[in-house]
Every structure is written in structure tokens, then in C-alpha cells.
Amino acid sequence: MADIENLIMRLRSAGIDFTEEIAEAMLNTPIEVFSDHDHRAFYHDRPLVFLETEDGGVKTISAPHMIVTLLHHLEIREKQEIVLLGAKGGYLATLIAHIVGPKGKVVIVDPSAEVIEYVNSRLDESVCITCTHMESVDKKPKGLPKAMHRVLVTGQIEALPEWLSENLVEGGFAIAPIGEREFQNLMKFERQGDEIMETGLGQVIFGPVDIKESIPETPSPEEFASMIEDAMEALDNLEMIEPETKNELHDLIADLRLLPDDLAPPQHGEEDEEHPMIRLLLDKGGLLMTLWPLIQLMSDNRLAHPASPGADLMRSGHEDMVP
């Protein structure tokens, strides 16, 4: 209990708005029920992995500052019926269920049967939550309420699905992170008559709704060559790379660009040395050690964790994890 109490205190100290009802729901919903991974990440205001698939897909429960921000904007009241597109391990739905009470209802829809199975295994049967597998984000799932007052999309999508906007009631709204994989705008879509009014709530970084879209992709030879080129240029500007190493890296870049443009990426389970690009990179492994930390740093999304212990409380911004 001390961990969650301290977390709530740090969230408030960071200036993040949320109601007493949200705080009480968090106090009564142990995060440990919803993930078997190291829970210290959550108490340090970071996303928490709840599911990893064999082919590398990853789904997370959002960082606490993002969770309370989403719930605050959702304006939840008792007896409401809330729809979640994207399961978030069942944790977010359970928080909402505490707030809407026994006369309210929470409906989870998710495009992954594996995620739905996982969430059902973690939910308390006495809580008013139902889980439904949907064929795709763009196709209306079964089991939705006829009139949707509140909808929360918990992962990145490029546009609000038509079935969702069409079924919002007068005054009802949806909240969703809209944009590309690199970053999105958290948007509120509210129905007013025949119009859907849009309000921006800030920039965020969410992983995709569908876990299949989180499976990491191997860069193409051209993409890898460009990454090495950018990293080498950065080191050269800092005078941190020897001329001999530069020449060897130029040779590696040229070799990568000689590989076929339509070269298929390595398949899951394929032996590394059997793939031409992987074999080339393994041959130059010692050379790449010079650049690898910089390549990782350049591709890393810098995420805000305003309620982590020791965080700079003057820093603002709410960002989720890119899995």
C-alpha cells in the first residue's frame, strides 16, 4: 500500500490533475494482479509490460501519469457505460469499474484474441467488465452498447474508425491518440448535433492498439546503411572517430547498399548467418560496437516520467511507451 500511496502523492506533486475517485480506485486496484513483470517500473511512473508474444509483440499498461490523465479527461461518473478499445491488461478497465460502480458497465474490445484471453484470466468476475474480441480496429465489433457515451482508445491509431464516431450519442465523446507510430496527438472527439468537434489534449507516444503491429521489424539494408551513416556523421562532428574506422564503415555502408532492394527480412526462427544482411553485419560486429550505443540512442524515444522518484517536478508532458 505504501508504494501506491507514494506514487499518488508524487503524481499530485507533479501537478497532474485527477479526482479523488481516481485516486481511490488506484488504491483499491493492485497493479500486481495485472502483470507478472517487475512492478517497480510502474511505481517509478513507467509503463509496465503485461504480455509478450512468441514473435516479439509487446503490450503494456500505461505509465501512471498517463493513466490518471486519460481517466481525468474521460469525465467518468457513476452508472455510466464506458467502452475501451484496447485492453491495457484489464487494469484500466478495473479502475473505471470502481468509479462507475455496480450499476455502471465497462466493455473492452481488442483485436487480439491472445490479449482478451489474458485479460479474462486477470479480471475479478464480480466486477462489471466484459471482454470482446474484434476482427479489426476498422470493423465494428459485436457486443457494444447501442448508444456510446464514453469511448477510450488506449493505443495508437491513424484515424478514428467510422463505426466509433457514428455511434457516439449527443454530447458523447471519444478520446484517442491519433497519428503515426513515432508520436500522436491525444484528441477528444465530441458529438454536437451532426458534427464531431475535435479538441487537442497534447502530444503523446502510444504503442499500437493491435499487438501484432508491435512486432519489431528488421530494418532494410538501406535503412540500416542510413542509420550507420547518421551515427558515423554524429561521431565525426564530435571528432570521436578515427579515419581508418570511417573508411571501414564507408565500406560496410556500400556493401549494405549493394544488397537487393527487395531482399526479404529475416524470418522469425531463421538462423542469423543464413541471411545476407545479418551475415554481413555479423562479419563487421567489432566495427559496429563503436556505433551501436549511438544508434540505439538515436532511435530511442525520450519519454517523460513526471512522477518517478527524484523527477524534475518542473518538467511537463505526458508520454506513453513505444513497445
Q: Which of 150, 179, 205 is the last residue of a domain?
A: 205
Q: Are residues 197 and 227 in the same domain?
A: no
Q: Are residues 19 and 128 in the same domain?
A: yes
Residue 211 covered by a domain? no
> b/e string for 140-179 if b means 16 or more Cβ within 10 A?
ebeebeeebbbbbbbbbbeebbeebeebbeeebbbbbbbb
CA distance 125 to 109: 17
Q: Give the pLDDT confidence score for residue 218 in this predicted structure.
A: 72
Taking residues 226-242, what's their average pLDDT? 83
CA distance 142 to 165: 16
Q: Find the distance separating the first CA and the last CA of the chain, reported in whole Å.
A: 28
Q: Give the pLDDT confidence score for residue 274 in this predicted structure.
A: 78
Q: Are residues 158 and 241 in the same domain?
A: no
Number of domains composing the chain: 2
Residue 138 covered by a domain? yes
pLDDT in tens, 170-196: 999 999 999 998 889 999 999 999 999
CA distance 207 to 140: 21
Rg (CA), the chain: 22
Could you tell me the pTM of the whole model?
0.76
CB atoms within 10 A of CB 128: 16
CB atoms within 10 A of CB 30: 14
Distances (CA, A) of 166 to 158, 170, 238: 17, 11, 54
Mean pLDDT of the chain: 86
Q: Are residues 181 and 237 in the same domain?
A: no
Q: Are residues 256 and 184 in the same domain?
A: no
Q: Are residues 192 and 87 in the same domain?
A: yes
Parallel, antiparallel or unpaired: strands 105-110 and 81-85: parallel
Report the candidate in 186, 4, 178 with the shortest Cα–Cα distance to residue 95.
4
At 124, the amino acid letter reads D
Range of the domain at 287: 221-299
CATH number of domain containing 104: 3.40.50.150
pLDDT in tens, 243-273: 888 899 999 999 999 998 778 777 655 445 6
Q: Are residues 142 and 82 in the same domain?
A: yes
Q: Percent of the chain, pLDDT > 90?
A: 59
CA distance 82 to 97: 9
Positions of E strands within 53-209: 58-61, 81-85, 105-110, 129-133, 148-153, 168-179, 184-192, 195-204
> b/e string for 180-207 if b means 16 or more Cβ within 10 A?
eeeebebbbbbbeeeeeeeeebeebbbb
Q: Are residues 140 and 254 in the same domain?
A: no
Contact (CB, 8 A) for 235 and 241: yes
- Residue 105: which pLDDT band, with cuts at 50, 70 and 90? very high
